[in-house]
Structure 1
Amino acid sequence: MGGMPHPFTPLDFQLVLLRRMADHNPGLVDDARRQLGVSAGEMREANKRWQAMLHAPGGRAAANRYRSFLGTPETTATRRIGDLTCESWLWPVTLWPTLRFEVLLSPTGAVWNEWLIRAPGTPSPTLRAIPDLTPWSCTVDEAATAFAPAHPLEGTAPTRWGLAFTAPDEQGVPREVAAEFTWGLLQRVSVRG
């Protein structure tokens, strides 16, 4: 039986993004999956294939892997992050038209980071208080900028990030907040005290 496996596609990759987010927001993920016209089984299968690619002996380097199924980046640019200069590759993501998937590459071509960011030229959301921090409403950079100074928290798994910051609640009372992000997109916040 086993014919040629079908190529991994941008749709498959979006399913991988969603699969990682399903732990926090299964309802949003189910809605997005239906919008893409795929079943939960197809999402699991895409994730299984992704994991196999990541762990395949002699597999493609991460940067080449992204180019192989996402194609040529929509945009490439040089970015400075602190003292480091890196190359940024951006691809559109159908599910989130105002976001781009960004891969940051070191001067040697190694992938430093891979996550969702706001598309260049697209306005950031207005983030003033905790009620503005709804799932999928903002990226890591946007939350860190809106509620500076923000401090990184250790992620609970690969592709997950955390931020700690102070933000006002509904009554304007400053609260300590821990925000969790998957693939750079806000998933949930917890208020400490």
Structure 2
Amino acid sequence: MTINGPFGPLDFQLVLLRRMADHQPELVDEARRELGVSLAEMREANRRWQAMARSPRARGTLARYRSVLGAPELTFRRVIGDLECDALLWPVPLWPDLRFEVMAAPGGAVWNEWLVRAPGAASPALRTAEDLRPWAYTVDEVARAFPPARPTEGTAPTRMGLAFTLPDGEPRVAEFTWGLLQRWSGPEPSSQVREGGF
């Protein structure tokens, strides 16, 4: 990463980490050290990202992702109810089994942007509360494991919640940042070890 150079994939990973630091500062610090990046550089990457997004000359959201992340690894058409959109996937080296997914309308308007499991990658087993470790699961994986699940409003644009019920009948709410599990209400799982790398 270069502070004054082009904003690229490494910088974008720092943007993801910056928002996750509110819930998982220890995991973020460990990931940042693995990337060889200082706290100041992470903050600067986030500042630059926000400036790009808010600039009067800002390109559209989809164009910004393409300019920062390059050509997507995979693009395909997805149908959700009566809506059709394009799903674009980019690799995220911190989480090798995940992809950053952007869902865009045919005209290019972005509907959603978050981390998802990479096509063909197996998700870690998820059966009990003890399995719910930070950074191990995506929104979709928790929703499928504990149906019925209901989305809840997040505390920031890149955050969302998911209300669900554990097999023992206990209701819980999980919090996600950029689509990746950060924490959930109730007693914390004993393990906070990541699955599949950062």
Offset from partner CA, 1:3-23 (integer Å, 9 cap, x none): x93110100000000000000
| TM-score (structure 2 length as normaliser) | 0.91
Q: Give the match for residue 187 of structure 1.
A: 182
Conserved in 2, the CA contact under 8 Å of 1:32 and 1:95?
A: yes
Partner of 1:117: 116
**What is the aligned-residue RMSD (CA, Å)?**
1.2
Aligned to 1:174: 169
SS at structure 1 position matched to 2:120:
coil
In the aligned structure 1, how far is the partner of 2:104 from the partner of 2:22?
28
Structure 2 stretches lacking a partner, 5+ long: 188-198
Per the alignment, residue 16 of structure 1 pairs with: 15
1:114-153 equivalences in 2 (<5 Å): 114-153=113-152
CA distance in 2, matches of 1:146, 1:81: 20
Q: CA deviation at 1:86?
A: 0.5
Matched to 1:187, the amino acid is Q
SS of equivalent to 2:46: helix
Distance 1:36 1:82 in 2: 40
State the identity as a percent.
66
Report the Cα distance in structure 1 between the residues aligned to 2:94 and 2:85, rounded to whole angstroms. Answer: 27
Q: Distance in 2 between matches of 1:129 and 1:51?
A: 38
Equivalent-residue separation in structure 1 for 2:30 and 2:142 (angstroms): 24
**What is the 5 A alignment of 1:58-137?**
58-137=57-136
Deviation readout 1:32-67 (Å, 9 max, x if unpaired): 001111000000000000010110002110000000
- Structure 1 position 174, deviation (Å): 2.3
2:158 aligned with 1:159, yes or no?
Answer: yes
Given that residues 175 and 191 in structure 1 are in contact (C-alpha distance below 8 angstroms), is that contact kept between their aligned partners in structure 2? no
Q: Which letter does structure 1 place at the counterpart of 2:184?
A: V
Deviation at 1:100, TM superposition (A): 0.2
More RCO (CA 8 Å, sep 6+): 2
TM-aligned CA deviation for residue 81 of structure 1: 1.5
Letter of the 2:172 counterpart: V
Offset of 1:191 from its aligned partner? Answer: 2.6
Aligned AA for 2:41?
E
CA contact (8 A) 1:16 1:43 kept: yes
2-side partners of 1:42 and 1:36: how far apart? 11
Matching residue's letter, 1:68: S
1:174 partner SS: coil
- State the Cα distance separating 1:188 from its structure 2 match: 0.2
Amino acid at match of 2:185: S
Q: Secondary structure at the match of 1:191?
A: coil
Whole-angstrom distance in 1 between the partners of 2:71 and 2:93: 16
Tell me, in whole angstroms, the C-alpha distance in 2 between the residues paired with 1:88 and 1:152.
20
SS at match of 1:88: strand
- What is the rounded CA distance, in whole Å, between the counterparts of 1:80 and 1:162 in structure 2? 23
